[in-house]
Amino acid sequence: MATRKKSHSRNVELKNHALGNAATEYPQTYSPKVLESFDNKHPKNDAWTTFVCTEFTSLCPKTGQPDFARIYINYIADKKMVESKSLKLYLFSFRNHGDFHEDCVQKICNDLGKLMNPRYIEVIGEFTPRGGIAIYPFASHASTSEKYQTLKEIRFMEYAPGKYTMPLSRVY
């Protein structure tokens, strides 16, 4: 089993891939099993974590042509957080996967929700236009807490392309 040494001398086990000098194995098909989590060291605090994948690709299920997007993942962790290299490998696994834009975004939201069980998560796709049409799907999930259910409702009702893909300090 590979381990990744943190600067504060704590080791985190990584089950599915090695970091550092070992060769990285890239999945050739959609693969949620590569996702890994680690313990949130501050589970009593609410904090946003945002990932931006600037080079997401998938395949159109109708034409087999590549689709390109920028994927934004915003979440508030509870007990678990997603490990970033495993997330990169997971997102890369869509490269040869044929699914509609909306389905890719919903799968990412569902898979990360299942992995971490966050207080709140949203996934936004900004897909490059094809045939003159750009598609920006939005998917979200919240814990059963009233606070996060309210957050989900507000962000869903106020969703507009670009609104939640910029730093949150410029949103409100």
Active site residues: 60, 67
Which string of b and e fits 95-133 if b means at least 16 CB within 10 Å? bebbbbbeebbbbbbebbbebbebbbbbbbbbbeeeeee
Tokens of 81: 């957080």
Separation between Cα atoms, residue 19 and residue 146, nearest integer Å: 39
- Select from 1, 11, 15, 143 the least CA-distant residue to 85: 15
